[in-house]
Amino acid sequence: MIEQSGATQAAARRVFHSKVDTIRPTYGFDDVSLAPGTDTVEPADVDLTQTFCGIDLAIPILASAMDAVVDARLAGELARLGGLAVLNLEGVQARYEDPDEILARIASAADDEVHDLLAEAYQRPIREDLITARLEAIHAAGAKAAVAATPGAARRFGPFCAEHGADLFLVQSQVSSARHLATDYDPLSLAEFTRYMPIPVAVGNTTNAEAAFALMEQGAAAVFVGVGPGAACTTREVLGIGVPQITAISDVAAARDAFQAETGRYVPLVADGGMRRGGELAKAVAAGADVLMIGSPLARAEEAPGRGMNWGMAAPSPTLPRGTRIKVGTTGSLERILLGPARVTDGSENLIGALRQSMAALGARTIREMQGVEMVYAPSVGTEGKSWQRAR
């Protein structure tokens, strides 16, 4: 019998803990599918209406606060169709009296020149008189005025926008937390901000249930979910952070439901980014979203100011851009993209019709009922039996 040395015996008792041993599986839109149940309903009986932060919506669609997506014209058209557009307070609409010229330059710039042009274009100061003008133009177009700013700008522009007619203020950052630590400045206190703002304050973005719950405790009227899923966003590549949207939405939905159970207050969840086809909208709602914020699909509309282009909100950063300009093309009217009729078979047109049809096939009459349908892990759902399609 071989006697073990003290070192060998000690080694046998060691337990090594590796981070990869506890990696949590997470899921994106392509990883899951929605499973039919026992009931179906007529598509005409599906009710998509809701009140979001005091604003009535006929369809659960928000247009992203991106300069290539939202201006007063698109806000008015989206309101006519039943949705809500969010204006970027730190974009060209608040920096240029006539933003069309700079938008045209950005859209037509060569790929190797566009970053420098973006960085230069967004150096112009934000003007309060232009913010007032845009709020008035959005209202004149028949829409509610929802606006967005980063936490650093929210303290300055929040009360101003509320005073000049804004209906909803979104504090939006790359990653929102309930407690931001800084040594060189006094960070925005969300609890204080929501308390003195006379209009609803929504907050984004997060992917974390505990962070979302804390944001709700501090008065958030809605919580936006998504870090890096957008087509024009490069946060995941540049910073290496992000959680696939199905998992992120589901985690934050759990926090929303727990918060409602404890307080009686329901805080809507907005899935922000990563959706371009009807099936992805349906999966986002099934994962727990109440409202869907989309950017690049709407940048393809004839009414969009980006002229067939889209770029991320952090793309103008002169030092570390976390967004890029992408060509999405102009495919038709906003009405065709959202309500059809579709001229393509890939699900990128008549998004609301697809959502309505999906809900009907799953027996869900309302958004809340859709949040209760069965979701299954199905990584092969997009390829099973589709070899002829892939060969086209």
**Half-sphere exposure of 264 toward its Cβ, with a 13 Å CA cutoff?**
0
Separation CA 32–CA 51 (nearest Å): 29
CA 337, 299, 301, 50: dihedral to nearest 10 degrees? 50
Positive or negative torsion for Cα 94, 98, 104, 106: negative
One-character DSSP codes across 155-216 = HHHHHHHHHTT-SEEEEE-SS--S----SSS----HHHHHHH-SS-EEEEEE--HHHHHHHH
23: which 2 tokens? 């990696």
Name which of 91, 101, 87, 103 is nearest 139 in CA terms: 87
**Half-sphere exposure of 367 toward its Cβ, with a 13 Å CA cutoff?**
22
Residue tagged active-site, from 236, 277, 336, 365: 336
The 3-state DSSP class for residue 14 equals coil
Residue tagged active-site, from 233, 276, 322, 356: 233
Separation CA 201–CA 198 (nearest Å): 9
Is 124 in the active site? no
Is 53 in the active site? no
Positions marked active-site: 233, 336
